[in-house]
């Protein structure tokens, strides 16, 4: 049986807006689809626009608010800034090392709750759908899935749909 260790942090300002239990269920269903039977650990943080904008600027070179960031221990994301990546940034060539007895640590997913709320206002969307999508999307990035080129995008979208369907089906049967 797979052991899954989750560290979920919710900014104090949003603790009344989102359930830690609901987030945990989304993460676990996603891992069941993306890493069936494998033990792992990851962190999920729910933050404000200012925090995600600062992280986006510092680690991706983009000075704008985004909806989700994923900091994988094994798959660094692309630097997207116009300037060269700073030496102190989240670098591709520095491996993340864990003690041998430690469960595989996938990394951290960070979501801006205000941005998720704005995106949830789009037609045919809801807050629950948007949060589920952002959690799934972030976890898939932790696992190395990407959408920069069409071939990768198709693979990621298929896995994302599979996970979202699993989450939706579980919610209906509960």
Domains of the chain, CATH where assigned: 4-173 (3.40.390.30)
- Which regions in the chain score pLDDT beneath 70? 76-101, 170-174
The burial of 94, by beta-carbon neighbours within 10 Å (0-12 exposed, 13-18 middle, 19 or more buried), is given as: exposed
38-65 confidence digits (pLDDT tens): 999 999 999 999 999 999 998 888 999 9
pLDDT of 2:
86
Non-local (6+) Cβ contacts of 115 within 8 A are 49, 52, 65, 66, 67
**Residue 62 in contact with residue 56, Cβ under 8 Å?**
yes
Report how far residue 134's alpha carbon sits from residue 157's, in angstroms, rounded to the nearest whole number.
13
Please report which residue ranges of 9-149 form alpha helices under DSSP H: 20-34, 49-60, 113-120, 127-142
């Amino acid at each position: 049986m797979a052991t899954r260790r989750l560290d979920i942090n919710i900014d104090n300002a949003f603790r009344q807006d989102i359930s830690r239990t609901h987030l945990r269920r989304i993460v676990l269903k996603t891992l069941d689809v993306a890493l069936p039977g494998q033990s792992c650990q990851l962190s999920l943080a729910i933050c404000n626009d200012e925090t995600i904008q600062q992280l986006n600027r510092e680690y991706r070179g983009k000075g704008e608010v985004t909806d989700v960031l994923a900091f994988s221990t094994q798959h660094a994301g692309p630097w997207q800034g116009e300037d060269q990546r700073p030496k102190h940034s989240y670098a591709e060539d520095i491996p993340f090392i864990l003690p041998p007895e430690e469960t595989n640590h996938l990394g951290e997913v960070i979501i801006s709750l205000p941005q998720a709320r704005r995106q949830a206002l789009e037609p045919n969307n809801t807050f629950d759908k948007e949060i589920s999508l952002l959690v799934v999307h972030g976890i898939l990035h932790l696992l190395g899935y990407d959408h920069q080129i069409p071939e990768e995008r198709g693979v990621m979208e298929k896995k994302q749909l599979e996970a979202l369907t699993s989450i939706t089906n579980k919610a209906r049967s509960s």
